[in-house]
Amino acid sequence: MNTIYVVAAIIQDADRILATQRGHGDYKDGWEFPGGKIETGEKPEEALRREIREELELEIEVGTSLCTVDYDYPAFHLNMQCFWATIKAGTPVLTEHEAARWLTRTELESLAWLPADVEVVERIISNTSMQAKLKGFAKKKIGSDEIASLFDVHSDPELYRQISTLESEGLIAPIMSSGTNGNRVHPIFLKYRITLREDYTGVLEEIAVLHPLLTKSEYLQRNPGEYVKHKDAIQKLNAYLFRERSTIPVSRKERSFAVFGEEKQLEDSSIKSLLLHLGLTPTVLHYYDTPEYCFNDYIPQRKPYMTLLICENKDIWFNIRRRMYEDGCREIFGTPIDGVVCGNGNKVSESGALEAYTSFLGAGEIRYLYWGDIDCAGFDIYLSALKNNVGLSINLFTEAYCEMIRLSEGRSIPDSKDGRNHRGDYREALGIFPAEMREKIQGLLNQNKRLPQEIVNYEGLLEYMR
């Protein structure tokens, strides 16, 4: 009798298995697992991928072998190797079959299967029975002696066959470090890890009624375990999306509280990953990240083009803000300004700090003027701000520094309290000052002196600001 060698795929989608109905031949209308003949020179897995591509226009991932069925039909002997498989890409398109159905394991016996496929169904159901026993074991690891007791086997050959079946069906995996029984004919590891496939029938029903934005990507349908893992968060998202889904942009923490009743949930890495898979971007949920560097500022009126003054220290910042707010001043030392920003010491020099703040303002163009203490630390802050916020216009506020030097004439200037006693190269930065002022500032820096911004006090600002 002629032997025909074929392969078949038990294609799984969560807890469902794909069955197809023959559309031609002697066994037309019979149900089978999709697959076909192995061509000369093909490996079984290669043949299976090709056949499924031709029959169903699917790309599949071929998994472990379930079984090999040998069956005598009247005209030929069939050798059918059956593999577990999952869909990598595509949805089933029937090019040869007349129908297809997704079935749970308990529904498999409801169809009229082809004779050879009946044995495959029995193996799947047996697999389900074995799963049930392992599921009731309650531990994630199981010893070989416990397997023998659970499946009522009493010899090494029987135990070897039982363990081989469990392994081939992906229900257990050996723990190599546990060692073996020392039997060369029937080698058995002493411990195994239980690797059960979950039954997600009820879970898929819950997923099916979620808000369309939660199911659009089909991520939860393909990964129902993720729904189980994040069920509480997903249900809160679902309720929010059906309830209101505000389109007014708010901060991440504000949106998090509105959705989850907890302001830090949207900062959780696992929730971020879930939302990414679901396609729920900040744009979709209408929230934004408050800039990490949110400086204190006073900008009476936002404009497309602005000049903002950055002050190293908060006292001078507050006094300038006070003059702008209380007296409507918009000019200092003869220079127009649109607002004042507190640099918080060296905070303004941290990498990307000012860039993040600038982006948040949303202006078309911002020109920054920087004003700090006249000491090495103050000028280092300015140089670092330039280096760490490339692309921004940041210039020293020369008029303010010059006035500080004028006010210091005849005064005793204190030494810097910065114990590092560092000396930077400030020649390029100081190049914009008039020669006389440049020499005086350089002299103070060379002597490691410190002339604080506070030499310009509120009383002085009454004169300097208009």
322 Cβ neighbours under 8 A, 6+ residues apart: 458
Distance between CA atoms of residues 403 and 73, nearest Å: 104
Q: What pLDDT sits at residue 293?
A: 57
Q: Based on the number of CB atoms within 10 Å of its own CB, is 58 exposed (0-12), middle (13-18) or buried (19 or more)?
A: buried
Strands 305-311 and 339-342: parallel
Return mean pLDDT, the chain. Answer: 89
More confident: 211 or 24: 211
Q: Is the pLDDT of residue 197 over 70?
A: no
CATH of domain 3-114: 3.90.79.10
Domain assignments of the chain as residue spans, ordered by start: 3-114, 136-194, 201-288, 297-464
pLDDT tens per residue, range 360-407: 888 789 999 999 999 999 999 999 999 988 889 999 999 999 999 999
Q: Is the pLDDT of residue 127 over 80?
A: no
Query: Mean pLDDT over residues 311-317, rounded?
Result: 92
Which residue has 């006389």 as its token pair?
436
Q: What pLDDT sits at residue 292?
A: 58
More confident: 88 or 440: 440
Distance between CA atoms of residues 210 and 3, nearest Å: 50
pLDDT tens per residue, range 221-268: 888 888 988 999 999 999 999 987 778 888 888 888 889 888 889 989
Query: Mean pLDDT over residues 164-191, rounded?
Result: 88
Q: What pLDDT sits at residue 403?
A: 96
* Residue 131 phi, psi dihedral angles, 5° rounding: -60, -45
Q: Is the pLDDT of residue 296 over 80?
A: yes
Does pTM surpass 0.75?
A: no
Q: Is the pLDDT of residue 342 over 70?
A: yes
Distance between CA atoms of residues 342 and 43, nearest Å: 70
Share of the chain above pLDDT 70, in %: 96
Query: Mean pLDDT over residues 268-286, rounded?
Result: 91
Distance between CA atoms of residues 342 and 310, nearest Å: 6
More confident: 336 or 122: 336
308 Cβ neighbours under 8 A, 6+ residues apart: 297, 299, 337, 338, 339, 340, 341, 366, 367, 368, 369
